[in-house]
A and B are shown apart, each in its own frame.
Chain A
Amino acid sequence: MITMTHYLVFSLLLFCISIAGIFINRKNILLLLMSIELMLLSVNTNFIVFSHFSNDITGQVFVFFILAVAAAESAIGLAIIVALYRVKNSIEINLINKLKG
């Protein structure tokens, strides 16, 4: 029987992987955005799990909003990346360190 814990551990694992993805990746900034999407996905899964097992619809409503916001976020993220590309002619993360110290 698949219990709530199974789902939660699964989504936790997903979350940890996606977080690792953010700092393992040293080159491609787009992968960062994808990792972020994964992160939000795991959060969403969490909400849905709770919503399902406690038989409460509000968790799903939250997921709905998160999805909407995530879409907006990726739009803006991609826009920023494009802008960055225009300035640097590259989107490699290891080249973005003009601001430091």
Chain B
Amino acid sequence: MIIQNTITSLFHFMPEIILSISSMVILLIGTLEFLKKYVFQLTILSILLASSFSYMVYPETALSLFNASIVKNDITEFFKYICYFIFLIQVLISRKYLNIRKLDSGEFYSLLIFALIGCLIIISADNLIVLFLGIELSSLSLYSLIALDKSNSLSSEAAIKYFVLSIIASAIMLFGFSYLYGLTNSLSISEIIVFSNTNEISNLYLFSYILIFIGVAFKFAVAPFHMWLPDVYEGSPLPVTNFISSIPKIAFFVLAYKFLDGNNIMQIDNFHNIFLFLGIFSVIVGNLYALAQKKIMRLIAYSGVANSGFIFLALYAAIEYNFSVSAFYVASYSFATVSLISLVTYISSKKYNLVYIKDFKGLSASLGFISVLFMVTLLSTAGIPLTVGFYAKYLVIDSLISKDLILVATLVILMTVVGLYYYLRIIWFMFFEPGINSLVNRGDKLSVLILSFIPAIIIMVFLFPEPIFKYIFNILT
């Protein structure tokens, strides 16, 4: 029976399997001189294949695979699609960048796909072991990806910082897992939730959750657990940063969702207030830090810290198990940040490196359309209307206000006003300042088309958000 179960499971798990096989194939091809140049194409092909398979094996009802190791349902599939899409764009846009830095080797793409697989496993894990392994698979791949860039002296520093801190976080999370296991005598997330709904919640149980969510907070880079993020953003190759900025966050959001949805622990004051206070703190710290930044990637990182704060606030607002707000926020933020970093990647795709914010000066003169895309994305990150980011912030503020946390809402939104300044600074550098900036390539029509995908989505969803809202509200409540 187990074997049969495993075989059906394998069928339903086809997309990930395709990815892992292709990852290994890519690794092999990368070593062969004459096939090396097809690595990129193969990566794209594998993602397309995986996502189309994912569509083919779309579960009609929720599925539990591999002896309750893995679940597949609407939510996991939804976020997986987002991951595939984002990953596709990231890979498409980073080819030239990698090429110049001689990073476009088989192992790079292979590790990237492994990182993706890790995240996909986190998304669909229903077992603490699988969860842990997924986390580690993606983290280990990411450490190595950061360290792979030998041309950049900062990359190994970023890698070691990420490595050490991330493992501390994992260890703390594991510590939480261990208590959780001890108390519930089970490693299955769904059983744990059943446990917390049937038993009285003891202090140790609460603390084990806190330990776990400190780990989650670390992965989201919520202040004060955010220190690694700017350094990693700055030190890693842009495609890796791009990955770190979005896909793990989606994965960890799903993790949080799985832990908290229908879990009585959410009703404990001491527990859900953590989200509130970390969220507020993160919004403040992120925005304040971002204000003083001179480097573009650090700025995006700190803005990410602020946005993670919003995600936590949204999670706080999910006391009534309404995770749609946070889900929408995560999705919208991931899209925006991917678009931002992809644009930076594209602009850096010549030997011209976009490091400082002042490097943006006069960009609109040479890359008019790209600047507009950049502006749209920035405005979305800032939460200005006409972009989907507005709804994201709107929903969070709305849910805070409906919980009568008006002061918090005001404080948080005033911090976004502070934050607006640094977004505007980039815009003004691009549009208002003169500058010599002919160091970028113009002709790459395909990349521009790809880059305009997300801004187009950002605006389209702003105009017609109802289907998305309906879908997300539907699957998450």
Binding site for B on A (CB under 8 A): 15, 19, 22, 29, 32, 36, 39-40, 42-43, 46-47, 49-51, 54, 56, 58-59, 61-62, 65-66, 69, 72-73, 76-77, 79-81, 83-84, 87-88, 96, 98-101
Contacts and interface: CB of A to CB of B under 8 A. Distances in A.
Closest CB pairs A-B (n = 7): A50-B182, A46-B178, A99-B231, A84-B156, A39-B171, A43-B174, A83-B156
Contacts of A47: 178, 181
A49 B231 CA distance: 38
Most buried by B among A15, A36, A69, A79: A69
Contacts of A101: 230, 292-293, 298
B interface, size bucket: 35 or more
B161 A87 contact: no
A72 B178 contact: no
B256 to A, nearest CB: 21
B192 to A, nearest CB: 13
A99 B143 contact: no
Contact of A87 (B153, B171, B186, B230): B153
A83 B129 contact: no
B116 interface: no
A73 B136 contact: yes
B128 interface: yes
A84 B175 contact: no
Contacts, number: 112
B132 interface: yes
A22 B181 contact: no
Contact of B178 (A50, A65, A81, A96): A50
Nearest to A50: B182
10 contacts: A36-B164, A39-B167, A43-B175, A50-B178, A58-B186, A73-B140, A77-B143, A77-B160, A83-B159, A96-B161
Interface of B: 128-129, 132-133, 136, 140, 143-144, 147, 150, 153-154, 156-161, 163-164, 167-168, 171, 174-175, 177-179, 181-182, 185-187, 230-231, 234-235, 292-293, 298
A11 B403 CA distance: 41
A64 to B, nearest CB: 9
B187 A58 contact: yes
A54 B163 contact: no
A46 B129 contact: no
A61 to B, nearest CB: 7
Given A36-B171, A46-B178, A80-B156, A99 B234 contact: yes
Given A50-B181, A77-B163, A43 B171 contact: yes
A49 B187 CA distance: 15
A65 B230 contact: no
B161 to A, nearest CB: 7
Contacts of B147: 79-80, 83
Contacts of B168: 19, 22, 36, 39
Nearest to A46: B178
B293 A40 contact: no
